[in-house]
A and B are shown apart, each in its own frame.
Chain A
Amino acid sequence: MLSKMLLGRYIPGSSIIHQLDPRAKILAVVMFMAIVFFANHWTGYGLLILFIITLTKMAGLSLRFLFNGLKLILILLLFTFFMHLFFTKGGTVLIDGGFFTIESEGVINGIYITIRLAMLVLITTIMTLTTSPLQLTDAIERICRPLKAIRVPVHEIALMMSISLRFIPTLMDETEKIIKAQSARGSTFMTGSLKSRLQALTPIFIPLFISSFKRAEELAIAMEVRGYQGEEGRTYYRVLNWQFRDTAALIMMIIFGIILWMIRQ
């Protein structure tokens, strides 16, 4: 099941999209979030879709693969569509079911909003698929650095994020092992009443907590003996390298926004 989740997963590659500075990618996604709202008729939405398809191809990802990932939020998309279908009024009445009506504006709006949402999810997915979580963390730390002026502990938050990223696979493995071990002892999580299912979680959570605390303690010691004492006097191994192509990518995003703005009706 988990293996089908695309959101938040990273697929290493060497495409131009992979190589962009993660800061450029984050900024571009933020810009795109605004740009989708410029589209207000078929041409605009068509351009948005075309844009995402081009990006997908440039990133060396297969469209089918990406749309499979969309299935996960299918319910959300359908919900959005039907909300508009039933509650947006205007235009000609297409179906009159007595206590409800479906009107043409509802259908059109439903499709538009669903496309908007899908495009937003897709561009975010493209970003996470082409950017390692570590790079994203770095980028967020750099982008947020000015916040230090108002005493936001940017470095600590970034370190926490990167350690969490580092330990997620370890903890997933650990959880799987404990689930298997307890299930070999006859523990059942799949059957029974809600109460008994919740009770069946105790044998999983307690060992998991205990081992996590132990890990945390040992990690703290390991960090201490390697001289960690906060941000002061620290240098950085990872550097982000903003290049011409990153500026170019953002300029193209702006031009795309302007085109969408100009053709809106």
Chain B
Amino acid sequence: MNINFKNLTSIYHQNTPFEHLALDDITTTFEEGVYYGIIGHTGSGKSTMIQTLNGLLLPSRGEVRVGNIVLRRKSRQKDIHQVKKHVGMVFQFPEHQLFEETVLKDVMFGPKNMGMDRATAEEKAKHYLQLLNIDASLFDASPFDLSGGQMRKVAIAGILAMEPEVLILDEPTAGLDPKSHIETMELFKRIHQDMGITVILVTHDMNDVFQYTDKVKILNEGHLVKEGRTADLLTNEVLLEKFSLEPPDIVRLIHDLEEKGIHFDQMPKDAEAFVRLYEEWGANHAQ
């Protein structure tokens, strides 16, 4: 399922002294099965964009097409609800939305709202909790008795159990310790690969964007200023500098080495890949 923005403009507090243009005439496509990154500074319109993607905000002008459903300025609740079924959203600090008496019930909340019967919802909930390494002994515990990391996993399971075709992640690792950070990002990567769902990641962490996403869209002051393959855009230091974005660690290292005269014919994605590439280079060079 593709998502298309067509001449989409989003204005907050329209016709008041506090009017603010958040997105300005954006036309773009999110293709099925691709892992996207949306990057840009605070206030660039990232958060408006993802909320428009799943019907939390309606366009002020233009339209967003999610599969066969079109959302415009005055769309009906029924259509909006349909969009939420297809597009799941993991908010920043998702553990703040837990409210049920038990972990299992909380995860079942979304699926049930989407019209799944109890038995199916429970089955999905258990499946995704297990996928996220939440032990079955915790299913009947109160979500508020869990550790911070576990709470986040339960909240994420609550979105996954709705089985969305598109998954939006808003700073999913904010506040996590580095180890949990890696585990969480690896989990989303697995879900993306195994289930073939579209993932849209919004983050300030350029290393994650570089390592995990296929394509990126760069927003600046409400404009979509650039989109394309991650491997092309995030290695373009001139472009990054123009929008004062930090290059990923690995890109910085490769560029610094190039200045020293060490050239690689490919761009590794993480430290491991770099080590392999460098060793290869060293071996070839020794000959």
Identify the A interface with B (CB < 8 A): 3-4, 11, 65, 174, 177-178, 180-188, 190-191, 202-203, 206-207, 210-211
Contact = CB atoms under 8 A, between A and B. Distances in A.
A129 to B, nearest CB: 11
A207 B96 contact: yes
Given A3-B16, A188-B113, A210-B144, A183 B56 contact: yes
Interface in B78-96: 81, 84-85, 88-89, 91, 94, 96
B30 interface: no
A11 B13 CA distance: 16
A177 B91 contact: yes
A4 B19 CA distance: 11
A185 B99 contact: no
Contact of A4 (B16, B77, B84, B113): B16
B89 A203 contact: no
Contacts of A191: 77
B97 interface: yes
Nearest to B116: A186
Interface in B11-31: 13, 16-18
Contact of B91 (A180, A187, A202, A211): A180
Contacts of B172: none
Given A185-B162, A186-B162, A203-B109, A180 B56 contact: yes
Nearest to B99: A206
A211 B96 contact: yes
Given A206-B99, A207-B96, A185 B77 contact: no
The 4 closest A-B pairs by CB, nearest first: A186-B113, A206-B99, A185-B110, A181-B97
Contacts of A3: 13, 16, 18
Nearest to A178: B97
B206 interface: no
A183 B17 CA distance: 28
Nearest to B89: A184
B54 interface: yes
A188 B144 CA distance: 24
Given A3-B13, A186-B114, A188-B113, A181 B94 contact: yes
Interface string B139-156: 000001000000000000
A11 B56 CA distance: 29
A184 B99 contact: no
B268 interface: no
A187 B89 CA distance: 13
Nearest to B144: A210
B129 interface: no
B37 interface: no
B98 interface: yes
A191 B110 CA distance: 17
Contacts of B247: none
Interface in B96-143: 96-99, 109-110, 113-114
A15 to B, nearest CB: 16
B159 interface: yes
A215 B283 CA distance: 57
Contacts of B54: 184
B110 A186 contact: yes
Nearest to A2: B13
A198 to B, nearest CB: 15
